[in-house]
Amino acid sequence: MGMRLEELIDELGAGSDRHYAMSLAGQLDPGAPADWRNLAAVLAIREHGPMIGISGGQGVGKSTLARLLVAAIRLAGRSVAGCSLDDFYLSRHAREQLARTVHPLLATRGVPGTHDVELALSTLTGLTREQTTMVPVFDKGRDDRLTRSGWKAVEGPVSQVVFEGWCLGASPQPQARLKEPLNQLEAVDDAHGKWRGYVNQILASDYQELWNRVDFMVYLQVPNFATVARWRMLQEQQLAPKRRMDAVALERFLAHYERLTLWMLETLPGRADLVVRLDTDHNLARVTVV
């Protein structure tokens, strides 16, 4: 059982707009979990600045909350666009180039260093201007970015942007934390630490400018990494059989994300503007305004 709408309204200081929040929540997708609809409605009526970021581990519900929040903001009468860090992944060809020149593990999308940060920055800027901005789309089934003809056209300027991404807001780790491998993938495929060192270095530089664009950061906090793996497996089961990873492939894929996910669990609750703690059943357990 998640948090009731009244609890969220009280925790987020939206008491004066109680009836408005309830009205918005009632108009959102009835197929979505009630507590996510409630959270989106309450967030939509609070003042956050032009860019709202949603961060959290694999399978935590970022895209669901982002979709509901975009709908709620639109119902509230404001122009809004939603985009995902995932859609700024480098093309397969570009990642294969990195794999040849830097480290083989960079062929797998996900970690910092596998996104086109410059494109993300220019796209976010474009959304706030009076112009048509083309927002890229990444096809995870093909593991490649669609050609420009498949991108989404957004007429700007929009008053708010909802930007979600699994590592949004992550900070680099101290060098001492990089020495020991964290899992089998790091121990075998990155025994000398070159991959994790590169990821950490680029996170410390290119990505921080992107994170700084966010005015209000929502961090969806998972109980532990085992829960992330279980939720991500549930997501995988919803894909067409030919597109699914089996358990072994998924475990290896998630190992790329484990280090930064655990580091974010340790550090981001003290840096986000709103921490949403989830229980193991994917319900909202607690919200904390930082």
85-125 residue pLDDT tens = 999 999 999 999 999 999 999 999 999 999 999 999 999 99
Number of Cβ within a 10 Å radius of residue 183: 16
Helices and strands in the chain, H and E counts: 11, 10
Q: What is the mean pLDDT of residues 168-175?
A: 97
* Domains in the chain, number: 1
Backbone dihedral angles phi then psi of residue 257, each to the nearest 5 degrees: -95, -15
pLDDT given for residue 176 in this prediction: 97
**Residue 241 above 80 pLDDT?**
no
Residue 238: the pLDDT is: 80
CA neighbours closer than 13 Å in the CB half-sphere of residue 128 = 11
pLDDT value at residue 84: 97
Written as six digits, the tokens of 164 are: 């979600």
Find the domain containing 83 and state its range: 5-167+176-289
Residues 6+ apart with CB under 8 A from 32: 64, 68
Sign of CA dihedral 252, 62, 163, 3: negative
Whether the pLDDT of residue 2 is over 70: the answer is no
CB within 8 Å of 227: residues ≥ 6 apart: 280
Rounded Cα distance, 101 and 95, in Å: 10
Answer whether residue 211 shows pLDDT above 60. yes
Per-residue model confidence (pLDDT) at position 15: 60
Beta bridge partners of 133: 154
pLDDT digits (tens, 9 = 90+) for 15-69: 668 888 889 999 999 999 988 999 999 999 887 899 999 999 888 999 999 999 9
- Predicted TM-score (pTM) of the model is 0.94
pLDDT at 1 over 60: no
The CATH number covering residue 242 comes to: 3.40.50.300
Is 160 buried (19+), middle (13-18) or exposed (0-12) by CB count in 10 A?
Answer: buried
Nearest Cα neighbor of 167 from 58, 255, 40, 287 is 58
The residue with greater pLDDT, 206 or 111, is 111
